[in-house]
Amino acid sequence: MSANLPPLRPAADLARDLTVRAVSSHIVDVPTVRRHKLSSLSVSAQSYVIVRVRLDNGVEGIGEAATLGGPRWSEECVESIKATLDAHLAPALIGARADQFERAGALLDAAAKRNNAAKGALESALFDAVGRTLGVPAAALLGGTVRERIPVLWTLASGDAGQEIEEAGQKLAARLHDTFKVKIGAQAPEADLARLRRLAVALEGRARLIVDANQAWDETIANRCLPELAEIGVRLVEQPVPAWNLAGLARVRARSAVPLLADECVFSPHDMLAVAHAGAADAVSLKLVKHGGLLGTRKVAAVAEAAGIGLYGGCLLESSIGAAAHLQVFAGLRELAWGCEHFGPQILTDDLVTEPLHYADCHVHLPSGPGLGVTLDEDKLRRYARA
């Protein structure tokens, strides 16, 4: 039987094959099908940095860093991400082993503080390249999967209740989504509550609602609005108060009948530990751009799990590249009670891969190929690349 197995390659040969030889980055801007409005910004095109890592064996891996509206969601924007990648992070990886993921992370941390989105894109490309070399999905390099598909919601963020009711109805009819996250905070609380009441009545019995205030409220407003959200039937409220006000978030949670989701207040495992100690959240939104990559996301998830805090797969409107990287992590989490929101590829007028992610029956499916499981479309990259 052993005679049928391929001969083992010398470790030195494999090490050479998996050595990082080149790194490149490209900014792309892809229009969205409609304006996506948050409490402090709105976008009609989504910007990404696409990272390409080439190994000594000729295999190339891809990764993606997404931002929303420039540096207004976090301190990173695509321009700063590309500059940091090209000048500091990429040189730190040249000559390093792509499969030594923790060591690569240490090299990146030594080269630049934070810059989590940039590091996450590079680490995704490393997992993609190594997975392609070995012929296995990135999830296998993280310990394997416990699910092949994940419940996925759709975000309603135009601010127009009539348009949102129609949009939600289309998603329900197509069996693409039956849970909707409503972006609030850009209008006065009374206007947001009126909009939510209209949505709840129109979708009653057909869909579930959660809301995201994107840090727009103070404690007083949160305490006034949360009982009404509970009455409306909202299942989860994301980051109602500013990220810095962790004590305030804990006080709001103590009075709230609706579970609270922590987002902008959790970037690192240390942040997650602080939220757990404060008793400030019922669930946490996991994002590679916040946690610095696949390994960082697993670490934040582990702290949350240890504290009994639920897991939710957050997004920043990633294309199929960034969404696929997230799914490789989410597929291996034992518990993902709140599902995910990786609808990003569907809100773009075009995607950046040859075969976009598959959505059906209100789930997004884990791609089956090696690495991240998606392949960059070179024509699309050229079409949307920023001059």
Catalytic hit among 183, 238, 264, 318 = 183
Average pLDDT over residues 332-341: 97
Kind plus residue range of the DSSP H or E element containing 53: strand 42-55
Query: Is 341 annotated in the active site?
Result: yes
What per-residue confidence (pLDDT) applies to 72? 73
Average pLDDT of the chain to the nearest whole number = 94
What per-residue confidence (pLDDT) applies to 321? 98
Measured distance CA(123)–CA(108) in Å, rounded: 10
Task: Give the tens place of pLDDT for each residue, 245-281.
Answer: 999 999 999 999 999 999 999 999 999 999 999 999 9
* Distant-in-sequence, close-in-space partners of 138: CB < 8 Å, separation ≥ 6: 124, 127, 128, 130, 131, 294, 325, 328, 371, 372, 373
Is the pLDDT score of 12 beyond 80? no
Average pLDDT over residues 367-385: 97
Which residue, 216, 226, 231, is CA-closest to 259? 226
Query: Is 183 annotated in the active site?
Result: yes
Q: Do 2-138 and 141-377 fold alike per CATH?
A: no
Name the CATH superfamily housing domain 141-377.
Answer: Enolase-like C-terminal domain (3.20.20.120)
Share of the chain above pLDDT 90, in %: 89
What per-residue confidence (pLDDT) applies to 298? 98
What per-residue confidence (pLDDT) applies to 221? 98
Instruction: Specify the range with the lowest mean pLDDT, choosing from 71-80, 180-189, 324-333.
Output: 71-80
**Residue extents of the structural domains in the chain:** 2-138, 141-377
Average pLDDT over residues 172-197: 96
Is the pLDDT score of 360 beyond 60? yes
What per-residue confidence (pLDDT) applies to 4? 66
Q: Is the pTM of this model over 0.75?
A: yes
What per-residue confidence (pLDDT) applies to 1? 46
What per-residue confidence (pLDDT) applies to 259? 98
* Distant-in-sequence, close-in-space partners of 121: CB < 8 Å, separation ≥ 6: 25, 49, 50, 51, 63, 64, 65, 81, 85
Average pLDDT over residues 87-111: 98
Is the pLDDT score of 115 beyond 60? yes
Measured distance CA(19)–CA(93) in Å, rounded: 9
DSSP 77-125: -HHHHHHHIIIIIHHHHTTSBTT-HHHHHHHHHHH-SS-HHHHHHHHHH
What per-residue confidence (pLDDT) applies to 290? 97
CATH of domain 2-138: 3.30.390.10
Distance of CA 284 to the CA centre of its chain: 12
Q: How confident is the model at residue 42 (pLDDT cuts 50, 70, 90)?
A: low
Do the beta carbons of residue 144 and residue 332 sit within 8 Å?
Answer: yes
Catalytic hit among 64, 76, 264, 341 = 341
Is the pLDDT score of 205 beyond 50? yes
